[in-house]
Amino acid sequence: MSECSEDFGFAPAHDEPIPYRQRIREYYVALGYGAPYEWAHYAEVPFRRLAKPLSDCRVTLVTTAAPFQPDKGDQGPGAPYNSAAKFYTVYSGDTDKDHDLRISHVGIDRQHTTAEDPASYFPLRHLRAAATAGRIGALARRFHGLPTNRSHRVTLEVDCPELVARCLADAVDAALLLPNCPVCHQSASLAARALESAGIATVVLGCAKDIVEYVGVPRLLFSDFPLGNPAGRPNDPTSQRATLDFALDLLTAAALPRTTVQSPLRWSPSSDWKLDFSNVQRLSAAEIARRRAEFDKQKAIARGVREDAGVTRDTLKPQGPAGAAASRDRSLTG
């Protein structure tokens, strides 16, 4: 006779971190695409301890959110996937100013979150408050936007070196990286590795645990929330402040690379939201066909955005010092 898990207060079997790599592999096979995507994966992980107390450290943010572009279609709360709003080069912004950043350009969990509260994915105001309170030594003068590239070569040879150069120029001691979509989590993980190798301590704040751990990072603060909420629950400042505190604690507490801390915060009393993202078992043949057509359409739009920006695999080559300096001038100052 089998025992009933409810007798012991067990959680449902699906109440565990979503296996995004498996879901995405099965999803794109069902849509009719070819060989599964090969995710970045390393055995060794660089690790940089803070060289001084956190209260003396200069900290920056790295985001995969995009600056709002009024001429690029719907980017507001609840917007459908909008590849026209993508960006393909590292950008920077003044941390003394507020910025309108959106995540309509990436594959967040649109069924269970709306991106209505930027503080749930870009905690600039909370990090400012941490600096004012003396929790950190200072907020770096700039935050940085990291493109979401499926190309490992572009991320590793172009975007990561550019991000590292900007952080070194700002004398950053530590960086908090906040990805949103599945590929964002890979890009942020590769960037964290590059920053650590350059002597800058990092924490990835993410919701796709399997992707980040598969790449291999020094520190991960995992929030078991729908994609698009790495900084806490939307419209819940208490949750957002707690998430930032967990990340800052992890910066100082981690003794070894591959340290993962799971936030104790829950998205909702029910874990059923975890059953939906890219789950082909819940999609009809008609819905799969519709999604294939929409994906092909958005892919063509994204290709046009890349070409308009002069960004191709042929043109994106590692830059020398002069090129990096010129690229660093492409910043958001307002």
- Is pLDDT above 60 for 321? no
Is residue 10 helix, strand or coil?
coil
pLDDT tens for each residue of 185-237: 999 999 999 999 999 999 999 999 999 999 999 999 999 999 999 999 999 99
User: How much is the pLDDT for 7?
Assistant: 77
Whether 177 and 184 have beta carbons less than 8 Å apart is answered as no
Burial class for 259, CB neighbours closer than 10 Å (0-12, 13-18, 19+):
middle
Q: What is the mean pLDDT of residues 162-191?
A: 98
pLDDT of residue 332: 39
- pLDDT per residue over 37-54, tens digit each? 999 999 999 999 999 999
Place of tokens 């900084």: 231
Report residue 65 as tokens.
């959110």
Task: Kindly report the pTM of this predicted structure.
Answer: 0.91
The pLDDT of residue 328 is 33
- A 10 A CB-CB count for 319 gives 17
How far apart are the C-alpha atoms of 209 and 19, rounded to whole Å? 8
Decide if 224 contacts 262 (C-beta within 8 A).
Answer: yes
Task: Say what the pLDDT of residue 329 is.
Answer: 32
Place of tokens 């120029």: 169
10 Å CB burial of residue 299 (0-12, 13-18, 19+) is exposed
Per-residue exposure over 199-231, b if at least 16 CB sit within 10 Å of its own CB, e if not:
ebbbbbbbbbbbbbbbbbbbbbbbbbbbbbbbb
Burial class (CB in 10 A: 0-12, 13-18, 19+), 321: exposed
Question: For 240-286, how does the pLDDT look when each residue is reduced to its tens digit (9 = 90+)?
Answer: 999 999 999 999 999 999 999 999 999 999 999 999 999 999 999 99
- In single-letter form, the type of residue at position 158 comes to V
Report the pLDDT value the prediction gives residue 191, as an integer from 0 to 100: 98
Confidence of residue 313 (pLDDT cuts 50, 70, 90): low
Distance between CA atoms of residues 270 and 252, nearest Å:
33
pLDDT at 305 over 50: yes
Is the pLDDT assigned to residue 320 strictly greater than 60? no
- Burial of 181 from C-beta contacts in 10 A (0-12 / 13-18 / 19+): buried
Structure tokens at 131: 């600096």
Joined together, the tokens standing for residue 220 give 């991960």
pLDDT value for 81: 92
